[in-house]
Amino acid sequence: MRKRLIILTAVFLGIVFTTNAQNRSHEKRKNKDKVSRLDSVAIKYGLNETQKANFKAAIVDKRKAQKALKEKAKSSEDKKGLKGERKQIMQTFDSSIKVILTSDQYTQFKADVEQKKIIQMKQRLDQRSERMADSMKSKYRVSAEQHGKVKAAAQAFGTTKMQIREKYGKSESKDEAKKEMKEARKTFDEALKAALTTAQYNQWKSDRKEKGKARKKK
């Protein structure tokens, strides 16, 4: 019995030591990755040591603020207020970076950020389009060919919406924006009508109408 207890203790200690070693190794890799990313940024934009240190400090401040906001979001239902705070964090970070970088460095940095946003938006658009096509496949039994057409229609509609929002932004031309968005929805509707059978299309329209009613009740 004693011998068995000694063996079990040894096994337990071995697991604990292995886990701790793995955690330390993971932490080291994370820190190394952070350093590598900062070094790559410094090289890309030609930062001097002072700029590099200040850039790092700005990132740390931004992440702390984002972490605090994430915790706040767990107990808050004020989505509009949280969105405003999230936007303020990014504006503060942008202001800090603008002071740290030279004019040329800042211009390049902003261009890269915008390019990254476009790539991320396209990725999210592709994912949403895929999910929509998948849901219609299971709900309305669309074929593989129809699945491809539905996804393409959703991607085209999503791309058009992004272009309209980018075009008008916060301008006062709300009527023009609404007009173009209405036309985009009509084109999307026609594309789905062409991709689906009459029964599938009518069921989709009916389901969408019911969802609209449910949203209005909330």
Provide the b/e sequence for 73-111 (b: ≥16 CB within 10 Å).
eeeeeeeeeeeebeeebeeebeebbeebbeeebbeebee
Top-confidence residue, 36 or 164: 164
For residue 155 the two structure tokens come to 């991607």
pTM above 0.75, yes or no: no
- Domain spans in the chain, listed from the N-terminal domain onward: 50-100, 106-218
The pLDDT value recorded for residue 14 is 54
The pLDDT tens digits for 61-76 are 999 999 999 998 888 7
The pLDDT tens digits for 38-62 are 888 899 999 999 999 999 999 999 9
Confidence of residue 152 (pLDDT cuts 50, 70, 90): very high
Query: What is the pLDDT averaged over residues 178-199?
Result: 94
The pLDDT value recorded for residue 218 is 60
Spatial distance between the Cα atoms of 102 and 172, rounded to a whole number of angstroms: 33
Top-confidence residue, 9 or 95: 95
In order, the DSSP letters of the chain are: -HHHHHHHHHHHHHHHHHHHHHHHHHHHHHHHHHHHHHHHHHHHHT--HHHHHHHHHHHHHHHHHHHHHHHHHTT---HHHHHHHHHHHHHHHHHHHHHHS-HHHHHHHHHHHHHHHHHHHHHHHHHHHHHHHHHHHHHS---HHHHHHHHHHHHHHHHHHHHHHHHHTT-S-HHHHHHHHHHHHHHHHHHHHHHS-HHHHHHHHHHHHHHHHHHHH-
The pLDDT tens digits for 7-23 are 555 544 555 455 554 55
